[in-house]
Every structure is written in C-alpha cells, then in structure tokens.
Amino acid sequence: MWLSGRTMAKALLTAFLAAFLVSGAGISSGARADGPRLMRVMAPPGTGAGRDAVIALSFDRPMDLHSLAGAMSFEPQVTFAVSGEAEVLVVPVNLLAPGTSYRFRLEAGGARDLEGRELHEGMEATFLTRDDGMEIEIPSFPYAGPVIEGSEPQAVASVIGFGVGHYPGTGRPGRGNLVLMAHASGLVHFPFNRLFDLEEGAEIHITYGGRRYLYRLGQTLVVRDTDMWIVDPTAHPLLTFFVCCAGDGRPSPTFHPPYRYVVRAEVAGASP
C-alpha cells in the first residue's frame, strides 16, 4: 500500500521513536534551572544503523535552530538539516557512507532557546552504518538494478557501465534532490537510451532500507553539460535523472556530447 507524503512522514517518525529511543543516554549533568534542558535523545543503534539514519532530540522548550545547528557536528563530516521546535530532528542531507563509524556531538554551551538562554548540557552518540545500497526500478522499460555510489562524479561515471550511478553529495530517497546518472548514446545500446521515451506520470521506484519510494515523472528538459544547477539541493523530495544527449534531446550520434537530457520526478509515496 502506498502512503501519502504526510502519512509516510508520521509513520516513519513513529517507527523511529519506537526503535531508537535512548532516554538520557550520553547527556551531561550540567543543566541549570534557568536554561533549557535536553530531556531525551533518540539515536540510531550502535551497530547496523541505516544509512538514512536520523537523530531526534527532545527539549523542555522550543529552541533556536540556528544556534542549535551550530553546536552540532558529525565525525566524519556530514551535511545535515535541523527542524522542529522543542522536538528536533537532525537529518543528514545525503545517505551516510556504508560500513562507517559516525560520532554525533552536541556541544554544551553553544545552543540557546528562543529567549536566548543557554543550553548547558551536551551529548554524543556513536553508531556504525550498514554496508547496503539503493536499488532502482523503471517499469516502463523495464529496468531494475543497483545504484552505484562513490565519492567523485567522474569516478562513478567511469564504473557504471550499463547501470545507474548516484551523483555524490546529492539527496537521499524520499528527501532532497536525489540525483542519478547513466550513460546514453546513439552509438551504443545503453538501457537508458529509452529514458527519452518516458512520458509524464511514468513511475520510477527507489528502494532502500526496506522502504520502496514511488516517484512520478513530472518534467523533462535539455541542458548544457555546464548547467550544474540540476544537482542543487531542493527543499522538497525530488528525483533528478540525467544522461548525455544531442542538442535536440535524443541519443547523440557522437561520443561525449555537451548536452544532458534531464528527467525530474516528484515523490508520490512510499511503502511499507
């Protein structure tokens, strides 16, 4: 059963709270009566954490998110977003690296509530991510296979072959701008030569961590290979998929053309 975006968010948050509640774990005892208090920490399990892990913090009053974000850090470094008021979610923008040990830290004395009173407590949590990846399915082709990942775009492009790569540093399933890339050519029979024939509303499925995300195609466009705004972050869930093309948007009769055919799809739900 597919769930709406709002229902999906509530269900995922409920499951997360039930699975990862760690009341008071790692919280220092330096709280003062006049300042905000950190009541609960909800962190990923120490081992086997999903690469889509989030951290939830519960305070006794609404917090200033700017100062709160400034007091937070991940090791290794992670780009993350902070949302909420008294109940705060810390969400990495991208999938975390596979099989990697992370340390999340909230420094004491750096964050404040909305009235400027200082948080005198700090905490830290460590966890090890699973060594797993994403999968993609496009029923219209049909095509199904793993999504290849790496730390550099050119390195990913050089190894994807007839498959699909995740553009490094872009979003995660169900959040932000998840950018995928593949090869297409008028000289080679790549599977994604058929990307040009997808019509509005076509389904693209992304699977990760036991969840299957449904995206529906909403827009296609042709851009220059220098138009890197297509990989920019977005505030809403988006899937961007691009391949090489000729100037008219069709498979190119030459290698390394300076154009990209881009498909953009909006998230429509997730299961279970």
Q: What would the two tokens of residue 51 be?
A: 């690469």
Span 8-18, mean pLDDT?
47
Nearest to 168 by CA among 236, 94, 238: 94
pLDDT for 199-255, tens place per residue?
A: 999 999 999 988 999 999 999 999 999 999 999 999 899 999 999 999 999 999 999
Are residues 102 and 80 in contact, defined by beta-carbon separation less than 8 angstroms?
no
Q: State the pLDDT at residue 34.
A: 84
- What CA–CA distance (Å, rounded) separates 61 from 52? 27
pLDDT for 121-152, tens place per residue?
A: 999 999 999 988 999 999 999 999 999 998 89
CATH code for the part of the protein at 20-128 = 2.60.40.3710
Q: What are phi and psi of 16, to 5 degrees?
A: -65, -45
Determine if residue 191 is left, alpha or beta; phi over 0 gives left, psi from -120 to 50 gives alpha, anything else beta.
Answer: alpha
163 Cβ contact partners less than 8 Å away, ≥ 6 residues apart = 145, 146, 147, 148, 182
Q: Is the pLDDT of residue 27 over 80?
A: no
Confidence of residue 33 (pLDDT cuts 50, 70, 90): low
Map out the domains of the chain as residue ranges.
Answer: 20-128, 135-271
Span 58-68, mean pLDDT?
97
pLDDT for 89-120, tens place per residue?
A: 999 988 898 899 999 999 999 999 999 999 99
Q: State the pLDDT at residue 31.
A: 46
Q: State the pLDDT at residue 151.
A: 83
Q: Is 209 helix (H, G, I), strand (E, B) or coil?
A: coil
Q: Is the pLDDT of residue 159 over 80?
A: yes
Q: State the pLDDT at residue 32.
A: 52
**Which CATH superfamily does the domain covering 135-271 fall into?**
Sortase (2.40.260.10)
- What CA–CA distance (Å, rounded) separates 47 from 21? 15
